[in-house]
Structure 1
Amino acid sequence: MSRTRVRTPLRTTVLAGTAVLTAALTACSGGGGGSSTGGDGKAKPETRITVNLSGKQARPGSPVEVTLAEGRLAQVTVTDSKGATLDGKVSADGRTWTSTRNAAPGTGYTVEARDAGGGTAKADFATAAPEKVNKLSLAPGKNSTVGIAQPLSIVFDHPVKDKAAVEKALKVTTSNNTEGSWGWMQDWSGKDRVDWRPKEYWEPGTKVTLDARLNGVDSGPDGGWFVRDYATGFTVGRNQVVKVDLDGHRLKLVRDGQLVRDVPMSAGTPGGEKASWRGRTVLMSKEGTINMRSETVGLGDAYDKMVDYSMRLTWSGMYAHAAPWNARYMGNANRSSGCIGMTDDNARWVYDQVQVGDPFEIEGADAKGTQALNNGYGEWNLSWSEWQAKSALR
């Protein structure tokens, strides 16, 4: 049952789990009994205010509703235990105020209402603590500068069954009103993931922000509640595309539509698992010198090497990197274990030029197929309509 405090005597009852605050709302304190006196000397009747949530174990996940039995609400403020307030709107008839955000789990709230005559009332309630909490990871990193193909990507710790509720809480804002859409998939790790991709590659200089207003959203069975909001943002860098011709054994860097450099390369050996993937992929990370071992990608004990200028393209282990041991094949044959290999000098130059989020457009028959949607950032291999269909709100 809600605890109430008003400036004139009040009566509190509980009806069907809803806190009912009965108070004489007046512009000044004083008066006894069930009424007060207005400026005309006449008695002012008691006014009832109801709050849909009450007690110390109220169920979270729904908006807070404050209803006035008679008259019009002028203002309602709902403040949580950390001092943050819930935004809301008063209905057209002035009777009901509804918050635009849900009440979050494990949170105390104070409700303060004022009517058109200046009278006030106050109530407190708290929501039950969550049995399970869902969290997430975001890419790209906050305040980063990325290439024109970089999507926003969110991977969740626990399953998201109510995808529509989660997607509604994710707001993307761009500096130039870029058209885009969310799309759901299972990440390579097996976790639920949602990405936001623009219809076409980003315009250079675009500023992108994500406001994930998830506090108080239930992700569904086995997923748990979100208990905080998230935010990130990035800027789109220069316009450049890496074009890879598997059949011609060439890699070209194109910037602002102009060819900057054309280098020979050798990609994966065709005809089996060592072949490269084709399609439009995205540079995921620049990892420098790393140890590559064939058994980690299901190729037995074929190699175990320290590899320089490594640029990750897929989760399954496809990179562009330096491969001086394969120099005799560069420009004339594909003889690697799936990666795009270049000389040390060429790999160093490409590594220095590319930015995370740059598209690698890989074409040719010497491939084992098209990169999968979740194997890195494979969304650019879907048409716009196919990508839009992966939104939970379509």
Structure 2
Amino acid sequence: MSRIRPRSTFRTTALAGTAVLTAALTACSGGGSGASTTAGQDGKAKPETRISVNLTGKQAKAGEPVRVTLAEGRLTQVTVTDSKGARLDGKVAADGKSWTSARKAAPGTGYTIEARDENGGTAKADFATAAPEKVNKLTLAPGKNTTVGIAQPLSIVFDHPVKNKAEVEKALKVTTSNNTEGSWGWMEDWSGKDRVDWRPKEYWKPGTKVTLNAQLNGVDSGADGGWFVRDYQTGFTIGRNQVVKVDLDNHRLKLMRDGQLVKDLPMSGGTPGGEKASWRGRTVLMSKEGTINMRSETVGLGDAYDKMVDFSMRLTWSGMYAHAAPWNAQYMGNANRSSGCIGMNDADAKWVYGEVQVGDPFEVTGEDAKGTQALNNGYGEWNLSWEDWRAKSALR
């Protein structure tokens, strides 16, 4: 063990895997190794304070809580500060002998520890964790401080594989302004990457404020995934209560707001009987993309079309949109003859585009479909029952 004399510098010594520090409580000290005493205010000899830290040196293992242990007496306060000035919160044990951080030590980070005991003695220590060989990052949706529709999930796509799904999920804290019930669910994203979404049990209530605090700094993704080296935070608000109902069999699109019909429009869906048919199910408006170039080869339909398309509203990753389709005007309201999208005339598509919000549900029904939208093809989680969705959590 090493000792810290009053008003002198300190040093740490590795001993059986821990750093051991001794701090003199008063200006008067003496004694031998491991049994030094100091004189307290009452004149009686008191043993010097000794603390040990489970992480030591400059290449300490990341991903573990910081534990500070006191040899004698009781700890009253421990402060652990990282090299960026952020603190690791923690708690002193009931017996006062130890303190454990609530968060884990992050890779590639230096830490300074200051401990105080019941007699006013103090001690300091420091260590640094080894730099990560690989860093994992993520992409969040929806965007921060946005207003979205009642079906919008909170979605996270990771750059690298996540094998430690339960540990990662524990670090993802969702809070809502009205205690909305919801659950995380894991899947492989359309891109092939790991993805986890948080979906409420039912559609969101308008006005709900949602916050994600992803306390990932110091969490290991697992094999081939790397470490997270920062926390993430985002928040969004739920907007109007509106649902777009698409009836493929009757070729109608209805916008419902607060349960009341706003407008009933003619449309033409995908040609039934093959790959050009539309998907059915409860999907979510992913983005409003305006005028875009749509090419059939990008969705596996050869050279069937190459068009600039107005008022484009994306519903799936596989290329299903609602949009203006004036070239199909003769079929609107009476037949499905598109290449998979929900087509409207220019005026109606413009009106719908102006009214809908990203995150609005599009509830597509009818037999003229090629099946139900897949879970990862956009936001397909609303096609699962609540119990089936909850079963996709790594903590179930």
TM-score (norm 2): 0.96
Alignment correspondent of 1:54: 56
| 2: CA distance, partners of 1:312 / 1:361 | 14
Pairing of 1:205-244 with structure 2 (within 5 A): 205-244=207-246
| 1: CA distance, partners of 2:385 / 2:293 | 36
Pairing of 1:140-289 with structure 2 (within 5 A): 140-289=142-291
Q: Residue by residue, what CA displacement relative to the aligned partner does 1:129-176 show, whole Å, maximum 9, x if unpaired?
A: 000000000000000000000000000000000000100000001000
Alignment correspondent of 2:6: 7
2:19 counterpart letter in structure 1: A
2:298 counterpart letter in structure 1: T
| 1: CA distance, partners of 2:201 / 2:344 | 32
Q: Residue by residue, what CA displacement relative to the aligned partner does 1:292-350 show, whole Å, maximum 9, x if unpaired?
A: 00000000000000000000000000000000000000000000000000000000000
| 2: CA distance, partners of 1:119 / 1:15 | 22
SS of the residue 2:29 aligns to: coil
| 2: CA distance, partners of 1:253 / 1:224 | 45
1:386 counterpart letter in structure 2: D
Indicate if the aligned counterparts of 1:318 and 1:338 stay in contact, CA closer than 8 A.
yes
| 2: CA distance, partners of 1:148 / 1:191 | 26
1:35, distance to aligned residue in structure 2 (A): 1.8
Q: Structure 2 vs 1, CA of residues 315 and 5 (structure 1 numbering), >3 Å: closer, same or farther?
A: farther
1:264 counterpart letter in structure 2: P
| 1: CA distance, partners of 2:135 / 2:5 | 36
1:31 counterpart letter in structure 2: S
Pairing of 1:66-105 with structure 2 (within 5 A): 66-105=68-107
Question: Structure 2 regions of 5+ residues with no counterpart?
Answer: none
2:161 counterpart letter in structure 1: P
Per mean C-alpha deviation after superposition, the further-off stretch among 119-128 and 2-11 is: 2-11
Q: Structure 2 vs 1, CA of residues 124 and 365 (structure 1 numbering), >3 Å: closer, same or farther?
A: same
Q: Report the count of equivalent residues.
A: 391
1:21, distance to aligned residue in structure 2 (A): 1.6
1:30, distance to aligned residue in structure 2 (A): 4.5
Q: Residue by residue, what CA displacement relative to the aligned partner does 1:204-223 show, whole Å, maximum 9, x if unpaired?
A: 00000000000000000100
1:4, distance to aligned residue in structure 2 (A): 7.9
Q: Residue by residue, what CA displacement relative to the aligned partner does 1:63-92 show, whole Å, maximum 9, x if unpaired?
A: 000000111100000000111110000111
| 2: CA distance, partners of 1:347 / 1:306 | 14
| 1: CA distance, partners of 2:48 / 2:349 | 80
1:18 aligns with 2:18: yes
Indicate if the aligned counterparts of 1:62 and 1:102 stay in contact, CA closer than 8 A.
yes
1:208 counterpart letter in structure 2: V
1:324 counterpart letter in structure 2: P
SS of the residue 1:271 aligns to: coil
Per mean C-alpha deviation after superposition, the further-off stretch among 43-52 and 339-348 is: 43-52
SS of the residue 2:120 aligns to: coil
Indicate if the aligned counterparts of 2:183 and 2:390 stay in contact, CA closer than 8 A.
yes
| 2: CA distance, partners of 1:162 / 1:209 | 23
| 1: CA distance, partners of 2:334 / 2:3 | 82
| 1: CA distance, partners of 2:74 / 2:207 | 48
Percent of residue pairs bearing the same amino acid type:
83
Q: Structure 2 vs 1, CA of residues 90 and 182 (structure 1 numbering), >3 Å: closer, same or farther?
A: same
Pairing of 1:108-127 with structure 2 (within 5 A): 108-127=110-129
SS of the residue 1:292 aligns to: strand
Alignment correspondent of 1:393: 395
1:18, distance to aligned residue in structure 2 (A): 1.2
SS of the residue 1:78 aligns to: strand
1:239, distance to aligned residue in structure 2 (A): 0.2
1:17, distance to aligned residue in structure 2 (A): 1.7
Indicate if the aligned counterparts of 1:11 and 1:22 stay in contact, CA closer than 8 A.
no
| 2: CA distance, partners of 1:132 / 1:17 | 26
1:101, distance to aligned residue in structure 2 (A): 0.4
1:3, distance to aligned residue in structure 2 (A): 9.2
| 2: CA distance, partners of 1:131 / 1:4 | 36
Q: Structure 2 vs 1, CA of residues 200 and 29 (structure 1 numbering), >3 Å: closer, same or farther?
A: farther
Q: Structure 2 vs 1, CA of residues 249 and 92 (structure 1 numbering), >3 Å: closer, same or farther?
A: same
| 2: CA distance, partners of 1:332 / 1:13 | 83
1:31 aligns with 2:33: no
Indicate if the aligned counterparts of 2:49 and 2:121 stay in contact, CA closer than 8 A.
no
Per mean C-alpha deviation after superposition, the further-off stretch among 5-14 and 296-305 is: 5-14
1:316 counterpart letter in structure 2: S
Q: Structure 2 vs 1, CA of residues 247 and 101 (structure 1 numbering), >3 Å: closer, same or farther?
A: same
SS of the residue 1:349 aligns to: helix
1:22, distance to aligned residue in structure 2 (A): 2.9
Cα RMSD after superposing both structures: 1.5
1:50, distance to aligned residue in structure 2 (A): 0.7
1:13, distance to aligned residue in structure 2 (A): 3.8
Q: Structure 2 vs 1, CA of residues 353 and 71 (structure 1 numbering), >3 Å: closer, same or farther?
A: same
| 2: CA distance, partners of 1:47 / 1:166 | 38
Alignment correspondent of 1:306: 308
